Copies of this chain bind each other. A is one copy, B any other.
Amino acid sequence: MSRWKPDAAGRLAKAAIELFAEQGYEATTVAEIAERAGLTKRTFFRYYADKREVLFGGAQELENCWLAGMDAAPEDADPMAVVAAGFGPISDLFADRHPFARLRAGIVAENPDLQERELIKLHRLTGVLQHALAKRGVSDHAAALAAQAGVAVFHVAFGRWTRREAPTSLGALMDDSLDELRSVVTATATATT
């Protein structure tokens, strides 16, 4: 999820994602990534623990960004509004990463190990959001559900975003998905009461 910037980390990420897309994730070595970026293996390992890290290094950034958005929510905001307060900052974070995210999604989709890693990262993210809500005084049960709903909205919206050929606003897609979740969940209330 790195930017396409001409810095070393960005060049390595760009080289890695291109090679993964061209010849497959498994077949690509760190040496090839470094060579394509015009850098050394040593430089690669200064930025990334391994080639998988190129694909998942952005998880921490996403987490920090989401938490910062939540921190900025009014103290009396209800749990889901607190979670949704991260959507704008996340949209900004990914604004110039659509080409990378699209390639990355294709690579992850083809590799079961990477898919498992993605699930684990999303689960970790859910736990972090839940903890942040609990610290604001939200009950454990509501915090767990709001965090899971927030990550489900992010996951579904992010999938839609990466499937679009032209870049669009991730934030708008997250808002749409939250609206749809609300409509899906409340339809039952009308039907059963």
Task: List chain A positions with a Cβ less than 8 A from chain B.
Answer: 77-81, 84, 116, 119-120, 123, 141-142, 144-146, 148-149, 152-153, 155-156, 159-160, 177-178, 180-182, 184-189, 191-192
A145 touching B188, Cβ below 8 Å:
no
* Nearest chain B residue, comparing its CB with the CB of A182: B185
A191 touching B77, Cβ below 8 Å:
yes
Given contacts A141-B177, A160-B141, A181-B149, contact A80 B119 (CB under 8 A): no
Given contacts A81-B192, A119-B123, A182-B185, contact A152 B156 (CB under 8 A): no
Smallest CB–CB gap between A56 and chain B, Å?
14
The 5 closest A-B pairs by CB, nearest first: A148-B152, A80-B188, A78-B187, A145-B181, A81-B188
Specify which of B153, B160, B191 is in contact with A78 (CB 8 Å cutoff).
B191
Specify which of B79, B81, B156, B182 is in contact with A144 (CB 8 Å cutoff).
B156
Assembled-state Cα–Cα distance A187/B145 (Å): 13
Specify which of B142, B153, B184, B189 is in contact with A180 (CB 8 Å cutoff).
B142
Specify which of B123, B153, B184 is in contact with A79 (CB 8 Å cutoff).
B184
* Nearest chain B residue, comparing its CB with the CB of A83: B188
Assembled-state Cα–Cα distance A184/B146 (Å): 6
Assembled-state Cα–Cα distance A120/B119 (Å): 7
